[in-house]
Structure 1
Amino acid sequence: MTKTKTKPMTITELSRVTGVSGASIAALVKKWKLKPTKTGEYNRKYYSAKDCQRIIDYYSSKSKTGTKTATKTAAKDEIIQTLREQIEDQRHQIDQLNEQLKMAQINLSQSQQLQLRQADQIKRLEEPQEATGDVVSSSSSQDTEESDEDTRMSHKTNEDDQGEAGNLSFFQRLFGKKKKIKF
């Protein structure tokens, strides 16, 4: 209880001091069954200093409790707001990580496709050598002799083709003669 010197007051004066409506104070006076100690001019009812102090203390303790509750509520609201902000930040981080993951998956997929293409190209380059049975020899003179012989054979074939050109039909001359492939 706050101990201050009070004087006898009316309900209106108590209302100003406590910041509570006159109707609320009148209801409290009725509830506590307080009797006015004296009546002033214009038939004003004054309540004793002791009763006035009791009313003031009642409303001041009530407002302190309300203040404590309001403070607790404000603190809870602040904590909730902080937690919401943290959750939003974490959602943003998760979105960024998901984007990075998507990009990494795309890069991985592209890398795998490139590796498959390279493997196919290597396979295609190796296939003709295996299919024809060509073996790369260490002797460059044999390669040169074989290529010279191949060149002479192709010239001879071209000469034979030109000699037979008169005997070919129009379409055979236009599209060429079928050549036999020797193995």
Structure 2
Amino acid sequence: MVKSKSKTYTTSELAKIFNISVVSASRYIVKHNLKPVKTGSHNAKYYDQAVYQQMKKYYLNKPKASEKQSHSVSKDDIIEQLQARIKDQSATIELLKQQLAIKDEQISTANQIADQAQKLDLTTHKQTDKQPQLIEKSENLKEHGFLYNLFH
């Protein structure tokens, strides 16, 4: 019996046939989980006629990039878009200015509170410094008699 040889295609040959990049062909093969019929030298993968037909069906029905509809953008449209962006950014700037004013008030309040805390701390330290002197005087008074403390 004689085996009939069917045509096999490498990834790069399929890419050339369908006028796509080799990467696109490889992605299609991986995406659709297509298996090669054989692997040749340098790890070249060969795909059969069924893969060719499947890719042909896909790429012939797919619209080309040049066939896509594109509408021209007029200068007026661009100006309107830019004015809308300017308006949005102006609103954002105003919001940020308001937030900045609020933060300035918060910082001012925090500074006042810090000043008050510092003054309170200083007063507390002065009082604690005077207490040992008062204790010393009261101890000195106890050491001497009443008449001594009265004349001195």
Fold equivalence (TM over 0.5): no
TM-score per shorter chain, which class?
0.3 to 0.5
